[in-house]
Chains A and B, each alone.
Chain A
Amino acid sequence: MSSRTTANELKTVISAPVESAEGSHCHLCAQCHLDAECVRRDFPILHQKVNGGKQLVYLDSAATSQKPRQVIEAMTRYYEFSNANVHRGLHVLAERATEIYESARGKVEKFINAERPEEIVWTKNASEALNLVAHGYGRKFLKAGDEILVSHMEHHSNLVPWHLLAKDKGCLVKGVKLKPDGTLDLEHLDQLLASGKVKIVALTHVSNVLGTINPIAKISTKVHAAGAVFVVDGCQSAPHLPVDVRTLGADFYAFSGHKMCGPTGIGVLYGRYELLDNMDPFLGGGEMIEEVRVDSSTYKEPPLRFEAGTPPIAETAGMAAAVDYLSRIGMNEIRTHEKELLRYALEKMTKIKGLKVHGPLDVELRSGVISFEFDDIHAHDIAHSLDVDHGVAVRAGHHCAQPLMEWLDAASTARLSVYMYTTKAEIDVLVEGLKKIRERFQAA
């Protein structure tokens, strides 16, 4: 690591006067490719040693990404110069806060190519965004006997809201099966759609376990031909792939801030305006109302209709900085970098005897997560050993995707996930670590 930020430098940076998110150094070096070493300078947290002097190797970005100082500073600046409540004050700070809040919405709109900013609803996370659709759309428009399609590779957050809805309304939830290579079985999707009863199809864009990138645009044509509404979980795609909700044909698209260099506590629901406009509120409270009497109330237009109470405001400042940051580097660049890392990691890992990688091996079909099993060594032993002995952070467990674990016939897997700041050298540390773990467990 050529650029280790010292604690003092960091202090200076944070207390420095407002600095443009455009920054001074380049991330795209001579050949116009993303330079991870260069990008890493923006992420203070990566420059530390852990567990007795081991350089931290963070390979858990699918759980949450690290934050560049531009995002951290934007939030600090908000609290230092602009903090106020939004949409209700008549003073200068309230104006500033509202401007930050609404301009961030505009940035997200452009980031995913929505048609208008009113199609962007702020939520506290992606789970809330999906619950909002199940509640605001599902409870209003679905009736007993209607069907909701999900798949066997969904995160619990794209399953449980539909279970609750189905239980409430007497609907049926059915799961699209997977093919042996870990891709969606589109023929099975066709069969399920043919029932004529499907009203909602809720699928993930990218699997958080297998890394599979689902052909959302192709699927949306089928979903719409069947007369259903298409809800897409974009948690693992918005941070890593160029996303154009209109090209994808998503009616709703949910994602979280913290997985895309933004803060925790904020998520996004994109919804086609026409759909949002016909939906009931999810939560009731301040900000979302037009007129309130003791016994009844009327509600604002979207998106404010769905933003009850004081929203996460500093977090929108962080989101705006995150979107600026990702856009400046370029989503295509990020994807290219991650593909290169995937290719490198898959080549090295598939050469390790006894190591089994889940999901498609073609990097064009998968995003930057690799779930694996290693001999009969339990994932918890793998993850803990990598952490203590090598400073490598990976995830182990069921990854909040129990139906998928059942399909894999695994109680748990270990998972590494990469981002723009991940280097090949870090993959090397992981691979060496895995070899050492086997030595320890074989010697036993």
Chain B
Amino acid sequence: MADDVPGTKSHHEESSLDQLYRDVIFEHYRRPHNKGVIEGAEIVTKGNNPVCGDRVTVYGKIKDGKLDEVRFEGKACAICMASSSMMTEAVQGKSLSDAGAVADRFKAMMRNEVPFEPLPEVPDIEALEGVRKFSVRVKCATLAWTTLKNGILEYQAGRRGESSTEVSCTTD
């Protein structure tokens, strides 16, 4: 039979794993920023991708309507861990609505709905651009952002404190 079925993109140089596992991603994976629990956080939201087993919990401390501190905990793949780490940096100090908008914009970029532009707050996000070539991994990159957004909505809906909801990324 023919090599690589015609019509499907072959992965050759273009999308080898080197494009996915960039050094910056490994740096965040090995030494994630803002990893840990925030006691008494107003936002505590779990995100779970049952298909591949990625699990994160996002914590947000709110002060004067802003995300004063954002942290995450989790057991997940390199892409998910790195993206979670970058997410905490991207939204730290932002108002809830700005943070939600950043999360939406990031997800839209990862899904190729808008052009990829690194966020000024976190230049490292540029390293996640290659993930878009691997459709099965896009959900890994968006999990923490979806989880944060969900937590913000929960909070705004008045469910404060210990509320913790399960976000399934299977349909996201």
- Give the interface of A toward B (CB within 8 A): 4-7, 10, 44, 47-53, 378-381, 384-385, 388-389, 396-398, 402, 405, 410-412, 440-441, 444
Contact = CB atoms under 8 A, between A and B. Distances in A.
6 contacts: A48-B1, A51-B4, A380-B52, A380-B137, A381-B79, A402-B50
A51 B11 contact: yes
A199 B55 CA distance: 37
B138 interface: no
Interface residues of B, number: 34
A44 to B, nearest CB: 7
Given A48-B2, A410-B53, A444-B29, 14 more contacts: A5-B1, A10-B1, A48-B1, A53-B4, A378-B53, A378-B77, A380-B53, A380-B77, A380-B137, A388-B16, A388-B20, A396-B52, A397-B52, A412-B52
Contacts of B77: 378-381
B21 A440 contact: yes
Interface string B8-39: 00111001110011010011011000000000
Contacts of B167: none
A389 B3 contact: no
Contact of B3 (A49, A385, A402, A410): A49
Nearest to A378: B77
B1 A379 contact: no
A52 B78 contact: no
Nearest to A49: B3
B17 to A, nearest CB: 5
Which 10 A-B pairs rank lowest in CB-CB distance, beginning with the nearest? A412-B53, A444-B26, A378-B77, A380-B77, A380-B52, A49-B3, A411-B53, A52-B12, A51-B11, A48-B1
Contacts of B136: 384
B169 to A, nearest CB: 12
Contacts of B10: 51-53
Interface in B39-88: 50-55, 75-80
B1 A389 contact: no
A163 to B, nearest CB: 17
A389 B15 CA distance: 10
B2 to A, nearest CB: 6
A49 B4 contact: yes
B5 interface: yes
Contacts of B79: 381
Interface of B: 1-5, 10-12, 15-17, 20-21, 23, 26-27, 29-30, 50-55, 75-80, 134, 136-137, 140
A53 B1 CA distance: 12
Contacts of A47: 1
A10 B5 CA distance: 15
Contacts of A49: 3-4
Given A52-B12, A384-B137, A397 B51 contact: yes
B4 A50 contact: yes
B79 to A, nearest CB: 8
Nearest to B55: A411
Nearest to A48: B1
A396 B53 contact: yes
Contacts of B54: 378, 380, 411
A5 B53 CA distance: 37
Contacts of B50: 397-398, 402
Nearest to A381: B77
A44 B5 CA distance: 13
A389 B76 CA distance: 21
Nearest to A53: B3
A75 to B, nearest CB: 20
A384 B79 CA distance: 11
A410 B54 CA distance: 11
A10 B15 CA distance: 31
B164 to A, nearest CB: 17
Contacts of B55: 411
Given A389-B17, A440-B21, A379 B3 contact: no
Contacts of A380: 52-54, 76-77, 80, 137, 140
A106 B29 CA distance: 56
B1 A6 contact: yes
Contacts of B16: 52, 388-389
Of A47, A49, A379, A381, the most chain B CB neighbours within 10 A belong to A381
A385 B17 contact: yes
Contacts of B51: 397
Contacts of B26: 441, 444
A389 B136 CA distance: 15
Contacts of A6: 1
Of B5, B52, B79, the most chain A CB neighbours within 10 A belong to B52
Nearest to A389: B17
Contact of B76 (A51, A378, A385, A410): A378
Contacts of B140: 380
B60 to A, nearest CB: 23
Contact of B11 (A44, A388, A398, A440): A388
A183 to B, nearest CB: 24
